[in-house]
Amino acid sequence: MPQTYDFDLFTIGAGSGGVRASRIAAGYGAKVGVAEERYLGGTCVNVGCIPKKLLVYASDFGEAFEDAAGFGWGNLSSSFDWRTLVANKDREIARLNAVYERLLNSAGAKLIRQRAQLLDPHTVAVNGNRFTARYILIATGSWPTMPPVPGVELAISSNEAFHLSKLPGRILIIGGGYIGVEFAGIFRGLGAAVTQVHRGPLFLRGFDDDLRSALADEMRKRGIDLRFDTRLTRLERTAGGIAVQLSSGSGFEVDLVMCATGRHPNSAGLGLDQAGVKLDVNGAIVVNEYSQTAVDNIYAIGDVTNRKNLTPVAIAEGHAVADLLFGGRSRILDHESVPSAVFSQPPIATVGLTEAEARARYSAVEIYKSVFRPLKHTLSGRDERALMKLVVETKTGRVVGAHMLGPDAGEIIQGLAIAIKCGATKAQFDDTIGIHPTAAEEFVTMREKS
């Protein structure tokens, strides 16, 4: 007699990936349970992509008001109210939380708003209750990592940055990943004095070097104090704020310290060891190309696996798992040539290989690069430069990387990602007619090798 279970699929974590997997599985007729201890939508919806992008929009207005003068506009507002922004942001996030709940309910999944732990490969414990499941999916995401320095308890992570009661006047950001870079631009754009410290020689490791250095130049033009090859060594409370000590020997006082020093897989305390699920040295769940763990019936997706930690990737992974388990479709998700963006000021976006990666992989590559002043700033007078870059494999002529710094970089690179995914060549880029006048047309008009 076949084994019977309470659920066909039990998902731990109702972030974007977990919700997608649960909805698709339920759509195939599976009986699905979902446990979530915090907030629906996970990091992206609550303390990540969505609220961060809303804050970026807010921080853009200051420059927009300045730029408008060159186009004949005057007497524009220069006042800003942080509490109004946060309240409006919170209202939108609450709306999205409700949307996620409706999506699960309408799909027929059972949502349990409690923490879940594994007891064995087929059993989970939730708030004193036990449920059995044929398959279990771990989709618990990641969590901010704080540096082990004296006084770090005085600092906040990016989680708390979205809920500050007021906008501090002097802010120190520790870390050179995309979160630190984005918040440096947000806080500076809203009027704060910002210092950003990074332990390496240049921030945004993993992005193309030309983009990294060009963005550093643009951020400095905006008044952000970038300090590379520097570490935080100590924080102390003072009467006026927080005293900061750096490895360079310098010290100063700020009102707020935000640590953006990475994130770690949220895998602790889930009972994974009891079920036989294996972790790597960083606490990430080890999975194969189908997102299957060392235990045949347990799968894991998203940041908790530490593969490509992007929301659309987690969603695609979740969809693939549901298709595999309940839809009769076996497919391997391609983690290469995944486009990404940093919503800095100005933003950067990228898809495919960096120049350094391409040179390491291929015997010969060609580089095409364009640096120019965006048309808008010929009248605004702003000293800003855009950068566009194509990386081409010489032997085949195939474009293997596209990189951009400048307005609407994410929107433009998303389109190019399709071309690169399809294996487009530089000759095909050249044969494409541009839309004039746009910044995007530079990608089909670059002829001179760099």
Positions marked catalytic: 436
Type of residue found at 266: N
Q: What is the DSSP string of 383-414?
A: ---EEEEEEEETTT-BEEEEEEESTTHHHHHH
Long-range contacts at 82-91 (CB < 8 A, ≥ 24 apart)? 82/164, 82/166, 82/167, 82/190, 83/165, 83/166, 85/54, 85/55, 85/58, 86/162, 86/163, 86/164, 89/51, 89/54, 89/55, 89/162
Which of 381, 348, 332 lies closest to 219 in space, CA to CA? 348
**Distance in angstroms between the alpha carbons of the first and the last residue of the chain:** 69
For 25, 216, 233, 268, the CA distances from 291, given in Å and listed in that order, are 15, 37, 39, 19
> Residues 47, 93, 58, 156: is their CA dihedral positive or negative?
negative
Rg, Å, the chain Cα set: 24
Query: Where does 209-326 have alpha helices with state H?
Result: 209-221, 272-275, 311-326
Which of 150, 321, 134, 171 lies closest to 260 in space, CA to CA? 171
Cα(20)–Cα(307) distance, rounded to whole angstroms? 18
Which of 265, 270, 263 lies closest to 284 in space, CA to CA? 265
DSSP secondary structure code for residue 425 in this structure: B
Cα(441)–Cα(62) distance, rounded to whole angstroms? 28
Backbone angles phi, psi at 362, to 5 degrees: -115, 155
Cα(275)–Cα(268) distance, rounded to whole angstroms? 13
322 close to 25: Cβ distance less than 8 angstroms: yes
Dihedral in degrees, nearest 10, Cα atoms 81, 86, 92, 93: 170
